[in-house]
Amino acid sequence: MMSQFSQNIAKPNNNTELFSDHEKWMARALEEAWKGVGLTSPNPAVGAVIVKNGEELGAGYHRKAGLPHAEREAIADVVARHREDALKGATIYVTLEPCSTAGRTPACTDGILENGIVRVVYGAVDPNPDHAGAADTVLKAKGVEVHSGVLEKECERLLRPFAKRITTGLPWVIAKTAMSLDGRITRPPSEGQWLTSPESREIVHQLRARVDAIIVGGKTVRRDNPRLTLRSEQSSAEKEQPWRVVLTYSGRESLPQDFHLFTDEHKERTLIYQDKPLDEVLRNLAEKGCNSVLLECGGKLMRQFAEAELIDEYQLFYAPIITGGEDFGFGLGDHFKSSLKLKEVSSQSIGQDTLIQGVVER
Amino acid sequence: MMSQFSQNIAKPNNNTELFSDHEKWMARALEEAWKGVGLTSPNPAVGAVIVKNGEELGAGYHRKAGLPHAEREAIADVVARHREDALKGATIYVTLEPCSTAGRTPACTDGILENGIVRVVYGAVDPNPDHAGAADTVLKAKGVEVHSGVLEKECERLLRPFAKRITTGLPWVIAKTAMSLDGRITRPPSEGQWLTSPESREIVHQLRARVDAIIVGGKTVRRDNPRLTLRSEQSSAEKEQPWRVVLTYSGRESLPQDFHLFTDEHKERTLIYQDKPLDEVLRNLAEKGCNSVLLECGGKLMRQFAEAELIDEYQLFYAPIITGGEDFGFGLGDHFKSSLKLKEVSSQSIGQDTLIQGVVER
């Protein structure tokens, strides 16, 4: 389900021949990690591959908080597919520095040592400054060879939501909006609701499957009676419904109580915040374990999030129309104090639409 | 200089192996034709290739109104490179139906017949309904084999500006604007004038080289003191300075007389229209021989052109910034009566920017 995003991440360039062996296997570990994106909060998505004599013995990824970490999954995979002693002398590739302290599950460094794995290659350092690099010390003390920083940027990209929450107490915020080429979010009244193509709306469902909460404004709810569910079958089977967060000035009572958000099978996953500062809302969601949040709100609220510099990533869909209307994707008003600049910008055709993605430069 | 545009046009898909021989040679003729884009008004850009026994004997394109047509250029090229009788039994590929009546230059059908060319393959039919298909009759009557409609869509695309003027009395209008991702055309005051990258501005110069006139509003002139010249050396050597058209409510006297447009070496190529209906301005430019016009105006005027459905093609540059300001690429106001829909939409990265191109569906 993550093909579009995993492709962006797993391959730093198109020429795989330029990869070193370490990079080749780390790309495989990233492939595994991407399977867990959106499923693991408050933990990060992590993938691991175990290799011996140039062959992949097994692989795994972290599936859900409380279940084994990626390293343990990969070890179990090897044991299931080979004899247990296959692990002796093997190398494990893991996208994130292995944990060296027991949490809800035992420390991964122990699993590595117990099974005779002799080399650990990891991508990103633990974003928690208290733990960063701790695995190196534990493993090297026992004679295990450690390499770090392989495909580091790609591994860090995958970790961003977790790292943001761990280091700032705020979730990674993705702003999604669908606009006409002239920046409007509505069409003339005679033309119906949708600006973008079914293909773009499918991508929006993939985005929802990446996040732990979806934020909309009361106005959007009143106008659209949205479900904000995961319509893609594959994702909805594995993934818990993201929180459906409604920001409103006038409280729950102002919203029709027979709407989907209050009556469907996920109604306990609907949250209302009345007249709360946006950063407080986000902090509260982070405390609930949300690593990432998707904004699907209208122009006024989107503008407030943007202006307050609370947005980390933009996913902007442009439909091939010019409408001239009054509702803008980023509202109306004066210039921001300074422009928000995006980096890692890419554009692609999605059906008839163009998707421009980027991450805010800070 | 036309590489970006000629690539879009000359290759209907990336797999040249799927081309038939006719398509292969027509693609070569299109390549020739593109060399003349922007140079030939009021004539169209046309290219021709002469082939015998699977070999290219010569090629040519129409360079300028009053100079020989593409067919005559290609014939002259063959004569210069081979013996004159090389033309006997040859096939000529030409992007546009050959002219069969003498104008400023003699009829091309005569040149074809006189030189013993036995087969004519052309792309687009003459857009002038009085002439359409006339060449077929003339040539077939003399025993020449005629094929038409090869890469027809690509050949017609190249002809659009000419066809628009011939059939409607209006030029082909290209709207170019550079916006932030939120549809704004200005940055916060502290940040300087440019939204887009030098690479995008280079493409704008290529666009200018395609057209016969550039339209701006008085406000843009007063604010920027623009030159609206062709800075690309290659293009400015071959090409006449496009008309620089200023639309103003308050007349020439309201514009600073020491500005570039009134004092530089191209000052006789500056036109002022005071308070004229937009379609009248365009009609007048068509009468001066303009096949194509580039709008480089601000949001208010751009909106008027768009709303009046006078724009044929959009070239929209999106800089990777969000500015939140008050000046929109397509102004402020109510929805248009109906949305303008674009077809043949493509997007590409230009430096850090994204260029979305499309043609209005009518």
Q: What is the pTM of this model?
A: 0.91
ipTM: 0.89
A289: nearest Cα among A169, A176, A205: A169
Q: Which residue of chain B is at minimal alpha-carbon distance from A196? A: B341
B240's CB contacts (< 8 A; 6+ apart) are B269
pLDDT score of B12: 43
- Best of A338, A339, A345 to mutate (most B CBs within 10 Å, chain B): A339
Q: Is A7 a residue whose pLDDT tops 90?
A: no
Q: Strand ranges (DSSP E) for B115-222?
A: 119-124, 145-147, 172-180, 213-217
- In angstroms and rounded to an integer, the radius of gyration of the C-alpha atoms of chain B is 22
Q: How far apart are CA A106 and CA B44, in angstroms?
A: 75
What percentage of chain B reaches a pLDDT higher than 70? 93
Q: Can you list the pairs that A15-21 forms with residues at least 24 positions away whose Cβ atoms lie under 8 Å?
A: A21/A54
* Catalytic hit among B32, B71, B307, B313: B71
How many Cα atoms within 13 Å fall on the side-chain side of residue B126?
15
pLDDT score of A1: 37
Q: Is B337 a residue whose pLDDT tops 80?
A: yes
Q: pLDDT tens digits, residue range A27-50? A: 999 999 999 999 999 999 999 999
C-alpha to C-alpha distances, B232 to B8, B213, B242, B337, nearest whole angstrom: 20, 17, 14, 40
- Residue A336 to residue B349, Cβ atoms within 8 A: no
How many Cα atoms within 13 Å fall on the side-chain side of residue B227?
8
Set of chain A residues whose Cβ sits within 8 Å of the Cβ of B322: 306, 314, 330, 336, 339-340, 342
Of residues B191, B333, B336, nearest to A339 (C-beta) = B191
Q: What are residue A119's phi and psi, to 5 degrees?
A: -145, 135
The average confidence (pLDDT) of chain A is 91
Our CA-based measurement puts residue A17 at a distance from the nearest CA of chain B, in whole angstroms, of 24
Report the pLDDT averaged over residues A261-285. 96
Our CA-based measurement puts residue A35 at a distance from the nearest CA of chain B, in whole angstroms, of 29
pLDDT score of A313: 98
Q: pLDDT tens digits, residue range B19-66? A: 689 999 999 999 999 999 999 999 999 999 999 999 999 999 999 999
Set of chain B residues whose Cβ sits within 8 Å of the Cβ of A349: 345-347
Tokens 């200018």 -> residue: B208
Please list the residues that pair with B49 across neighbouring strands.
Answer: B59, B93
Q: Can you list the pairs that A85-90 forms with residues at least 24 positions away whose Cβ atoms lie under 8 Å?
A: A85/A116, A86/A52, A86/A57, A87/A50, A87/A57, A87/A115, A87/A116, A87/A117, A88/A115, A88/A116, A88/A117, A88/A118, A89/A52, A89/A116, A89/A118, A90/A50, A90/A51, A90/A52, A90/A57, A90/A116, A90/A117, A90/A118, A90/A119
- Residue A307 to residue B330, Cβ atoms within 8 A: no
Tokens 């100079």 -> residue: B67
Number of A/B CB contacts below 8 angstroms equals 151
Tokens 């990824």 -> residue: A61
Please list the residues that pair with B177 across neighbouring strands.
Answer: B316
Q: Which residue of chain B is at minimal alpha-carbon distance from A195? A: B339
Report the pLDDT averaged over residues A92-116. 91
Report the pLDDT averaged over residues A248-267. 92
Q: pLDDT tens digits, residue range B187-235? A: 998 998 788 899 999 999 999 999 999 999 999 999 999 999 987 665 5
Report the pLDDT averaged over residues A159-171. 97
Residues A142, A144, A149, A154: is their CA dihedral positive or negative? negative
As a whole number of Å, the end-to-end CA separation of chain A is 30
- B253 counts as catalytic: no
What percentage of chain A reaches a pLDDT higher than 70? 93
Q: pLDDT tens digits, residue range A109-126? A: 999 999 999 999 999 999
Report the pLDDT averaged over residues B156-169. 96
The average confidence (pLDDT) of chain B is 91
Of residues A186, A347, A358, nearest to B347 (C-beta) = A347
Which residue type sits at B123?
G
pLDDT score of A53: 94
Of residues A179, A322, A332, nearest to B340 (C-beta) = A322
pLDDT score of B6: 41
